[in-house]
Structure 1
């Protein structure tokens, strides 16, 4: 039986690791073959085929429900119902819409929409909206979070920006949203958002600073609902009934054990539904239900069996759950605890059990976090040692009881006021820990180093006295101190990061690093903080020798402050230093300045008679082994004509498209003089500026240029001086990613 269950798990997981799904006829054939294998007792193979077929069919359904290509970028009026818990943060209202209908087109069943400066939107309402629709997508950068996979796992078939709208009907059956509104309306000592996160699993009310503290201390799972809370509530309910029965306070005509198990499971399921029934909650509810079922039958249930059943149960309900990082972290944490404490001889004291559990979970999850490209909390074991009992035993009871008793005047509000104060104390303590030990963003690792480090983690989880266990420490340290790869002398390693409507290009030589522009910032949305700094750390950039900001526009220099805070920067140069924030001290671009790093030549140019910030863009030419790349910022055709009279008007194989491919740039004179064979375009999908302009694309094609577009290809990587084509991240195929020809 267990072999069959393990085989079923393999089949359910297999499609996620495939570059493409099998054809539909093969999906339908696999269950038939599996049934034919059953008389021959080939249960494992049959289970693999059943699981693979079901997971593939579910994935294909989700792909088929995506927005049609012909509607990508179109603005349409549609009607639909708001579901879930709408978020209103930083002036943007975000929510999910289902049952959307348009007069002439079929729309996806679920869409995720954003309304800038929009009105209050509540769950259960029906709206008529004018929406600019987009196919699901996301920025693609080295070892970054795969937002496209997350959207597919959420069954979101389209995203969009709302231009206008009107409410058609008020909310109906939106009990979670009504509870959230009550929680946000009480006096919780300024911690209403944290209360909503703890009770409802809704983290939209947490500030950016709160999220950063939770991430740095590895305590996100405590505030945005944990499977541990589900188990704790079920245990409290079970022990309450058992205690009443033991002291003769439980009615004799009611058998206490079935009631204890039933009420415990009802409490777990009710809290799970209240919190949105996400993957950790599903796992906890399934495991609690299995343990209670075996307890009801007076049988002892091993620890691995419920975990395996819960694993398959979650995947059978939602085969795409494995695309979510929370799925792997939830099951991996429980597996580490089972592996650590199961089958050990002798007993530990309670404080030994508690402290060792935190350190061993940190060690066991380290390879998983690295594989998921997530930050690693250095202070996590210490923070959780204190925070877990505080939240579970001190904060959670008044928070849940206060929510339950909100209809009683003063009672519910008083309990929530107390819970809010307790959460505030928690954040004060966590802020101190986070200030001393922020989260570590590790660099990308070769697969061989990751496997050796994972082996080290497994060895350290074994009991003392097991042979080879001491080898675990040096193997685990490989994850933090992997062998460094040095670039070849005279070669420039270039990454054009995918930053949407903006620009950020990283140039590395053997011993030096330069960042040309730092990505955009629009209001509180800072790509420098969210994309550029993590990408630099993943690429093992420890400091910048120079940050060159072409000019001061927000799409090029908006992320510069975040970059300077995240990494040491030796020198900042800008074509428009006066337009930069006062906190950023920058030297002026000096036209004609040249230098060499590790056999790679650099030269600056700027139009002295420029009239605006775009024209003042500081242009950088890089030459490695006779191969050139020209980074042009946002210069226009007037600046291009002047550039062609200077020293940079030489054959240049690689050209960064001036002004994102704007109509006012990339003149035919520039293309003929530089004779590039490839052009790099950095822009946002469906941007309001219409970049790149069709006439500019026509010029590129007329010159037979190879076009690398970040909106289609994601981040673009080339090694200047090797005379090789560039590599793009979107060519790393996964079944949920559109190929570059269809991506945008």
Structure 2
């Protein structure tokens, strides 16, 4: 079982999938090894081959490159509860047909400003389709891995549509239940109760998510293994309690009935919540645990856990791409490790506090490895919130939801559940105000491995020799060494922020940010991309944030950055158009030097519109030059050339994301850059980069590097080394 699990888990770390003929040879070799002296090696290869085949089928189901960016009419059924927000609705589509070309089996669609969409309905839609493509940066959320794990072959935006059939099936039943639940007065928390009962987290506000993240209680507000386990445990305890009190019929064995009732409750709750990956994982674990309790208790607790791990990965090898997979199995392993073999009976309060200590300490290295924030108040918050939610809110919400047909009883229970939840959120907000989540600097694999070993040592029983050595093993992971560039060099990163711009410049002891990425509604790339990059690199302060101009694709993420890290100075070509929280100075011609790297800024005095007011930044390290021009148009480029007649640059950031209104032929010939960097969104509606710009570059022999194709771009200015795109760090799920 260990060999099988290792083979299945190895998929997560592959840069590319082996060819089919290699997998065939490995499968034949595995069969032969099963009858040798090392059968475990054959079992490992069987797990590896099966995982690779499963992943290859998902990749083969992706949208064809010929259809990428095109608009098609298609038909399909809404397969789950749609995520409803202020600007539109997002939903999954399956049972797809009616198109002129083969399409993936599962699509993830967005419809902005469209009509109401409900789960279980069948629609005919005009959709602009996109391949399963996401922003690729060194740190932050990996959208392509998330799409691959959910087996989504393409995303798209709906342009028009017509409802063909009303809602039907399980999704329609869940949708009707959601609408009834949302209509109940639950002290303003009906949307949060829908998350607990039906797994619909779309109603939680951004502020709610932030509070939950800061207090380490995110797992409590969505259907997770703990909720399903709780229900199964309560049903098991009900039968066991009746048997212990002598109220259970003696002719009927109570243990099989308790296990069967717990199993039925767990699977019913999971189906009601949409049977997503976490619910399926929990059901498998509970099923094996109940089977162990019924027949195999003498074999120890590790056996059902290992069996659950193998079963989950056999049914869904791509589960290992999700952080929840590692955290859920890690949590159970820690509980077994922390409680197994202890002598004597502990008081309930000691057991409960011990469990929170195990989670807080033991899961922290895993959070570091996954690049997730660590809650400094998580142990205290969970000590209160877990019993509050799982012993009071969830039972009341479930019972009230089931009894909504009896208005006074059902609505009263839901009202009580909502009131308890509102009180909890107020308490969690107070705890979060004392200590918010900490996003540490990214640590190397060896440092995280040492921290994991240190956590296990600290969790050993008191009196074990060398137990306190675990504290020292944490140090390299909590305070890793920052790999800043050498004196006289500058590390420049053009972040992959889609249709926008953000450039991070770091010298030996300082850091600057040129533009902060776009923001559209609640979708803030400053928060989702720029801030994780700063935290991952260990940058706790910015010497300057230069916002070329105030358009939202350049300055939209500035407030999120300003709230996340201290910023000494803000400079912009349009300071008067920025939010009032950003007290900015006007861009002007200025030169300065830090750590042996020279900077110079410039603003066009004759500018008459927003793009023309873009602040230009020139960076020189060791004679190697980079020029950033924001959205400066052609006549602005000529003005810059007039003041810098002998200028030469090695790297040029294409103005206005590659628009034909910038990067003029005279400008390119005069500067003679070796390469041009283009920051833009894939399949953007503006047609960037424009074919005329690409033709100019090609005719002058200038290389073009594109964030939409290569991911974030990294240059070590002053070394004259080749540029490196983040997509060169290969992962099998990343589109080449």
TM-score band by shorter chain is over 0.9
Q: Distance between the aligned counterparts of 1:124 and 1:277, measured in 2?
A: 15
Which residue is 1:606 aligned to? 603
The offset of 1:282, in angstroms, is 2.9
Q: Check 1:250–1:342 CA distance in 2 against 1; reply closer, same or farther (3 A cut).
A: closer
The offset of 1:350, in angstroms, is 2.5
Q: Distance between the aligned counterparts of 2:410 and 2:506, measured in 1?
A: 59
Q: Check 1:103–1:267 CA distance in 2 against 1; reply closer, same or farther (3 A cut).
A: closer
| CA distances 1:436-495 after superposition (whole Å, capped 9, x unpaired) | 111111111123322222222222122222222111112213322223334311111111
Q: After superposition, where does 1:134-533 map in structure 2 within 5 Å?
A: 134-173=130-169, 174-252=172-250, 254-297=252-295, 299-533=297-531
Q: After superposition, where does 1:581-730 map in structure 2 within 5 Å?
A: 581-590=579-588, 592-647=589-644, 649-730=646-727
8 Å Cα contact 2:124/2:163 also seen in 1: yes
| CA distances 1:588-610 after superposition (whole Å, capped 9, x unpaired) | 111x2111111111111111111
Q: Distance between the aligned counterparts of 1:724 and 1:704, measured in 2?
A: 19
Counterpart secondary structure, 1:445:
coil
The offset of 1:256, in angstroms, is 2.8
The offset of 1:152, in angstroms, is 0.6
Q: Distance between the aligned counterparts of 1:104 and 1:300, measured in 2?
A: 59
Q: Distance between the aligned counterparts of 1:431 and 1:566, measured in 2?
A: 18
| CA distances 1:689-736 after superposition (whole Å, capped 9, x unpaired) | 111001101111222222211111111111111111111110111111
The offset of 1:542, in angstroms, is 0.7
Q: Distance between the aligned counterparts of 1:295 and 1:366, measured in 2?
A: 30
Q: Distance between the aligned counterparts of 1:297 and 1:277, measured in 2?
A: 27
8 Å Cα contact 2:34/2:40 also seen in 1: no
The offset of 1:583, in angstroms, is 2.2
Q: Distance between the aligned counterparts of 1:293 and 1:412, measured in 2?
A: 34
8 Å Cα contact 1:233/1:264 also seen in 2: yes
| CA distances 1:194-250 after superposition (whole Å, capped 9, x unpaired) | 101111222111000001111111101111123222222122212222333444544
The offset of 1:300, in angstroms, is 3.1
Q: Tell me the number of residue pairs that the alignment of Structure 1 and Structure 2 aligns.
A: 734
Moved more, 32-41 or 505-514: 32-41
Which residue is 2:735 aligned to? 738
Q: Check 1:727–1:298 CA distance in 2 against 1; reply closer, same or farther (3 A cut).
A: closer
- Give the TM-score taking structure 1 as reference length: 0.96
Moved more, 88-97 or 288-297: 288-297
Which residue is 2:92 aligned to? 96
**Any stretches of 5+ residues in structure 2 without a counterpart?**
none
Q: Distance between the aligned counterparts of 1:395 and 1:103, measured in 2?
A: 46
**Any stretches of 5+ residues in structure 1 without a counterpart?**
740-744
- Give the TM-score taking structure 2 as reference length: 0.97
The offset of 1:177, in angstroms, is 1.8
Counterpart secondary structure, 1:410:
helix
Residue in structure 2 matching 1:59, options 55, 60, 64: 55
Which residue is 1:83 aligned to? 79
Counterpart secondary structure, 2:117:
coil
Residues 1:7 and 2:9 aligned together: no
Q: Distance between the aligned counterparts of 1:487 and 1:70, measured in 2?
A: 42
C-alpha root-mean-square deviation of aligned residues, in Å? 1.6
Counterpart secondary structure, 2:232:
helix
Q: Distance between the aligned counterparts of 1:103 and 1:566, measured in 2?
A: 46
Q: Distance between the aligned counterparts of 2:306 and 2:69, measured in 1?
A: 44
Q: Distance between the aligned counterparts of 1:184 and 1:264, measured in 2?
A: 28
| CA distances 1:603-641 after superposition (whole Å, capped 9, x unpaired) | 111111111010110101111111110000001111111
Q: Check 1:319–1:298 CA distance in 2 against 1; reply closer, same or farther (3 A cut).
A: closer
Q: Distance between the aligned counterparts of 2:646 and 2:576, measured in 1?
A: 28
Q: Distance between the aligned counterparts of 2:135 and 2:235, measured in 1?
A: 46
Which residue is 1:742 aligned to? none
| CA distances 1:3-30 after superposition (whole Å, capped 9, x unpaired) | xx00100111122211111111232343
Counterpart secondary structure, 1:644:
helix
8 Å Cα contact 1:279/1:314 also seen in 2: no
Q: Distance between the aligned counterparts of 2:23 and 2:615, measured in 1?
A: 55
